[in-house]
Structure 1
Amino acid sequence: MAQTLAEDQYGRKIDRCLTDTVVKFGGGLVLGGMFSLLFFKRRAWPIIMGSGFGIGMAYTNCERSLNGK
């Protein structure tokens, strides 16, 4: 059996965090853009808020993953 090094496990966690951040940021950006176009007369704040929520959720997931909880 091959052993996995601690550095490799940490690297995989960081890769998952970056992927999760990109996906959640993109989802928040798209959702905010849709709300901006459909309901808020093309204002910028729904896009910014959706992106911020996405990054915040990704940060929480990464923090939980890296702390081992």
Structure 2
Amino acid sequence: MSSVATIKKTPSEQLLNDKWDVVISNAVVKTALGFGFGVGFSVLFFKRRAFPVWLGIGFGAGRGWSEGDAIFRGGDAGVRIVKS
């Protein structure tokens, strides 16, 4: 017999875990895209100043936050829907 006990998750716990997975990955991707655009604009247009990078990170993190809020509230705000 195996000494490792299998933990069975309830459907609501699994749904919550799925939502968190989507929210965290979405926030990381949006923040990284904002960082990339900020670096690009900084190099191309602003003589390598730092404010476009921080602005891009802020916009990306804010977009990730708002989409995560929409996912947890259950509204259809044009974001990915987590299927159970």
Report the TM-score, using the length of structure 1 for normalisation: 0.93
RMSD: 0.8
Matched-pair identity in % = 38
- Uncovered stretches (5+) of structure 1, i.e. residues with no partner: none
Q: Does 2:63 align with 1:21? A: no
Residue by residue, what CA displacement relative to the aligned partner does 1:9-30 show, whole Å, maximum 9, x if unpaired? Answer: 0100000000001100000000
How many corresponding residue pairs?
A: 66
**Matches for 1:39-50 after TM superposition, within 5 Å:** 39-50=45-56
User: How far is 1:62 from its partner?
Assistant: 0.3
CA distance in 1, matches of 2:16, 2:73: 11
CA distance in 1, matches of 2:30, 2:59: 8
User: How far is 1:38 from its partner?
Assistant: 0.5
CA distance in 2, matches of 1:26, 1:39: 20
Report the TM-score, using the length of structure 2 for normalisation: 0.77
- Uncovered stretches (5+) of structure 2, i.e. residues with no partner: 1-9, 76-84
Segments of 4+ moved more than 6 angstroms: none
Q: Which residue in 2 is equivalent to 1:7?
A: 13
Q: Which residue in 1 is equivalent to 2:67?
A: 61
CA distance in 1, matches of 2:31, 2:65: 11
- Find the structure with the greater CA-based Rg: 2
User: How far is 1:68 from its partner?
Assistant: 0.7
Higher helix share: 1
